[in-house]
Structure 1
Amino acid sequence: LVVVDLPRRLTLAAPDGARRTFDLSAPEESRDLDLTPRLIDWVERHFDLRKLRSDYPHWTDQRGG
């Protein structure tokens, strides 16, 4: 899976009902799946996933699924 050119404003809606818009327009913001720490932290918290930060792009489902 390759994702490039995410929108400059990315809105995520999580299964737990949380919703957040991330501004990816700054030069230091990646607009592919090399996500910034604040976006990774939010996804981990609201999607019950953990990012294996040392092994891009792997994630772990915390429910064991």
Structure 2
Amino acid sequence: VATLASAKHLKLRVLSLSGCSKVTPKSVSFLGNMGQSLEGLNLQFCNMIGNHNIASLEKQLWWCDILA
């Protein structure tokens, strides 16, 4: 996640991490820095992050559709 977030030149529009056990609360801060090109983010079944992490991410990426 950190590597993807730091690669600004990728300009990802949609990222699905559904079911990824490696997505942790620390990952959320990296995801929040993905940039404004990100339009959709799927975090379903990422059991290591809680609702408060999702809420924080929704504030950071207010333009992005987040599925959790």
- TM-score when normalising by structure 1: 0.35
Which structure has the bigger radius of gyration? Answer: 1
| Structure with higher helix content | 2
* Structure 1 or 2: more strand by fraction: 1
